[in-house]
Amino acid sequence: MYTVLITEDEADIRQLISFNLERESMETLLAKDGIEAIEIAQEKEPDLIILDIMLPKLDGFAVFKELRQDSRTRDIPVIMLTAKAQLDDVVTGLEMGADDYLTKPFSPRELVLRVKALLRRIKTTTSKSTITSGKFRLDKNTLHCFVAGEQLDLTPTEFKLLLLMIEREGTVQNREDLLREVWGYRDTANSRTLDTHIKRLREKLGDFSRCIKTVRSVGYQFRSNA
Ligand code: CA
């Protein structure tokens, strides 16, 4: 059973999210401000955190920073909630390393799909837990990624994205499929999530960033020997 921490100061939205996740057999924890969110996250170590940006006491960005600095909470996936008008917030959140975002008002169904997609652990097949391609080696059990023998510090979502592309090496992965499979998006129009994650992934890959090629207006392609 998964536990989700919902951080939202507006009681009706908090209840709406909680109701919809509990209907999917998830356990929910509720925080109404930034301080409470950090305390609950550290104590309960939920499987996922939904984090509103505009919060009393400590805003969502400050909360996120705290979560990423603490070993107990640093790998917990985070979905940020933003007001539709605040697109800058979306970009800031993603660049800080949030896994996904939703703009208000959002449909509860969309939220549930996104939550489930991020919670879906990388399935390990019995025979092969390690996948190798060129200088890349990914261990699906530990979520460790090595490039030319150096371990990269990837978030679980970055790992999932890279793994998917390596498994389909050489074929062009269109944006819609990647957003659907990694994040559970139904409507993929105008999403900043994928491009921001690719950007972060490339930064971490350094010299090997060229292995992820942009295919204009379609998506991305991975080649280990690029
Ligand atoms: Ca708020």
How far is ligand 1, taken at its centre, from the CA of residue 11, in Å?
10
How far is ligand 1, taken at its centre, from the CA of residue 51, in Å?
9
Please identify which residue in the block is written with the tokens 């280990």.
Answer: 224
Q: Are 101 and 94 in contact (CB under 8 A)?
A: yes
How far is ligand 1, taken at its centre, from the CA of residue 178, in Å?
29
Task: For 134-181, write each residue's pLDDT tens digit.
Answer: 999 999 888 999 999 999 999 999 999 999 999 999 999 999 999 999
Domains of the chain, residue spans: 3-121, 130-222
Average pLDDT estimate for 69-74: 94
Please state, in angstroms and rounded to a whole number, the distance separating the CA atoms of residues 8 and 18: 11
Please state, in angstroms and rounded to a whole number, the distance separating the CA atoms of residues 212 and 224: 8
Task: For 88-120, write each residue's pLDDT tens digit.
Answer: 899 899 999 999 999 999 999 999 999 999 998
Residue 64, by phi and psi: left (phi above 0), alpha (psi -120 to 50) or beta? alpha
Query: What CATH number labels 3-121?
Result: 3.40.50.2300
How far is ligand 1, taken at its centre, from the CA of residue 119, in Å?
24
How far is ligand 1, taken at its centre, from the CA of residue 58, in Å?
11
Looking at this protein, which amino acid is placed at residue 48?
L
Query: What CATH number labels 130-222?
Result: 1.10.10.10
Q: pLDDT tier at 226 (50, 70, 90 boundaries)?
A: confident
How far is ligand 1, taken at its centre, from the CA of residue 53, in Å?
6
How far is ligand 1, taken at its centre, from the CA of residue 37, in Å?
13
Residue 5 bridge partners (DSSP): 29, 49
